[in-house]
A and B are shown apart, each in its own frame.
Chain A
Amino acid sequence: MEDRQILSGLRSGDIGALSAAIENYTGYVSAVIANQLRRRGSREDLEELTANAFVALWESRESLRTERLRGWLGAVARNQARSFLRKNRLLTVSPEDVLLVSADVAEKLLEKEEARRLLRAAVEALEPPDREIFLRFYYYDQTVPEIARDMRLKREAVKSRLRRGRDKLRQRLEEGGFPYGV
């Protein structure tokens, strides 16, 4: 069943559409969660969080506005996994995850939502290979060796492209009045 049919079915309360979503996206949703959990969750944690994403899909069916089922499920799955880690005090923060902004810029941002909007715009402006590396690293929580394997690149190439992506991101953000440094 195509996404369009699944979404249409969900909106009309067809439980079969939910089964089709589970059939099509269990692999993807569980991969998103497993990448976040790494070794910090058990098999049953993975199963429960994967199931939770589909329960959320069903419970949101009437208000579901998106046409991007994969993206919606990925965002929900990632969020659930990170919430689980946060709740269990297992959420790690690496130095390269942190953007430091000066107080005056922070004042201008006012809302985290504004920082989010600016960051996403900057990510979208990255060249495709750099954007993919950036998202694999920061969104999907893949390690450098995993990215190298999946994109058939050398680790050093991934590291340098990641660095380059961050430089471009910084340049873009600085142009938008949002300098950062680590």
Chain B
Amino acid sequence: MEFNIKDLLDGYMEEEIALRPRRSPRPEKIEALVRARLEGSEVPVSRPRRARRLLRALPVAALLACLLSVTAYAVSSLLSERVYARSASQGDVVLNLGAPESAEFQAAADWERCLAELAQAGENDSGSASFPEGSREALYAQNGAFTPAARAALDEILDRYSLSMAARLSRFQDPEELYALTGVSAFLPPLGKPGQDPWTGPDPSVPGSEHQIFKPVGSLYEGGSLEYSATALLSGERTVPYDLSLVANGNFIKGAGIVTRGDSFEEWTYTAPGGTELTLDLGASRAFLSAKLEHGYVFLFVRCGAAPHDEDTDAGRVAAYSGFARLDRELLEELAASFDYAALDALCAK
């Protein structure tokens, strides 16, 4: 028989330990919500700024506030061109959108730097901002601009690179929803083995649990741009978690900074079965895959690398249980081969 220590601490009253505030809302906001609840009325909560999964890889404002002194980079080759900031503790920060020389990438990088400056100056506080669905303000908010000053700054960047903001059309979880939305049949690798794989189903190490570490989530944008955090089932019943970013030429969607943790990367090119040439980068704790398509650019952030998982993370602990050990060149190439790039390109061409 087993007991969960955390369950056994339910109801425990701890009085002494000082907790560092995390993402703390303002007391006035909470009071407004409480009063509304007690009076039976509605007060809008903050709007979600973007897909949850990408927030995981986006400590940009916090990072850039103290990290903008870019000097030498630990990464090399094409990946080094994606670096737009550097963290003393987490290594280079790469941006996930577009080819490095492209307007899409440059605009996204400029906007991330701008957001950091706005945050430092306190000029982009979302506060209790709420905008009608489909409004222009909502479109700015989707990209992280909540105030007139932030909107003006984003407009300036969009003008500079001749790009248009792409509105989010839909959020989805299951790839089948995505295929139904796009009208394009399966173009992503299978997620995993529902109900068996620890990434996608109950954790077999904890009988009876409903543990699901990795919940797929994605957004489809007008113009065909796409973000999706999912898993790919590869040979040997190994599962790899990844974040896919597909940006259509001429589109602007908000990027995400990915810290490289000081990894060194082995970079090589690989030609997928359909003929698409990809750049693959394999580091100790992360891997990347990128390809220029005719109508867009696809970038994959793979959440594991050549070294064993960091067992300080939920994913690492579960990965250790699942038997998944590490990526190698062969496995990364297998992952690269499992996407249908012609179909991804077709999304951007619509």
Contacts and interface: CB of A to CB of B under 8 A. Distances in A.
A19 interface: yes
Summarize B's interface: helix, strand, loop or mixed. loop
Nearest to A134: B5
Given A18-B34, A31-B19, A93-B209, A39 B52 contact: yes
B19 A46 contact: no
Interface stretch (B23-31, B69-77, B182-190, B266-274): B23-31
Given A42-B48, A47-B46, A120 B5 contact: no
A36 B48 CA distance: 19
Interface in A96-138: 97-103, 106, 112, 115-116, 119-120, 123, 132, 135-136, 138
Interface in A29-43: 30-32, 34-35, 38-43
Interface in B11-38: 11-27, 29-31, 33-34, 37-38
Given A22-B31, A74-B14, A136-B17, A30 B23 contact: yes
Nearest to A18: B34
B4 A115 contact: no
Interface centre among A86, A93, A135, A136 (most CB of B within 10 A): A93
A31 B20 contact: yes
B23 A51 contact: no
B22 A30 contact: yes
B350 interface: no
B133 interface: no
Interface in A78-100: 78-79, 82, 86, 89-95, 97-100
Contacts, number: 182
Nearest to B206: A93
Contact of A42 (B6, B14, B52): B52
Contacts of B326: none
Interface string B207-230: 001111101000000000000000
Interface centre among B1, B11, B56, B212 (most CB of A within 10 A): B1
A115 B11 CA distance: 13
B24 A144 contact: no
A46 B23 contact: yes
Given A22-B27, A139-B9, A140-B19, A48 B4 contact: no
A51 B2 contact: no
Contacts of B24: 26-27, 30-31, 34
Contacts of A175: none
Contact of B48 (A44, A94, A146, A150): A44
B210 A89 contact: yes
A44 B4 contact: no
Interface in B105-144: 126
B38 A55 contact: yes
A112 B7 CA distance: 10
B61 to A, nearest CB: 14
A57 B20 CA distance: 23
Contacts of A92: 211, 213, 314
Contact of B23 (A19, A43, A93, A106): A43
B1 A106 contact: yes
A138 B21 CA distance: 18
> What 3 pairs between A and B have smallest CB-CB spacing?
A71-B13, A106-B1, A44-B45
Interface of A: 18-19, 22-23, 26-28, 30-32, 34-35, 38-44, 46-48, 50-52, 54-55, 58, 66, 68, 70-72, 74-75, 78-79, 82, 86, 89-95, 97-103, 106, 112, 115-116, 119-120, 123, 132, 135-136, 138-141, 143-146, 150, 180
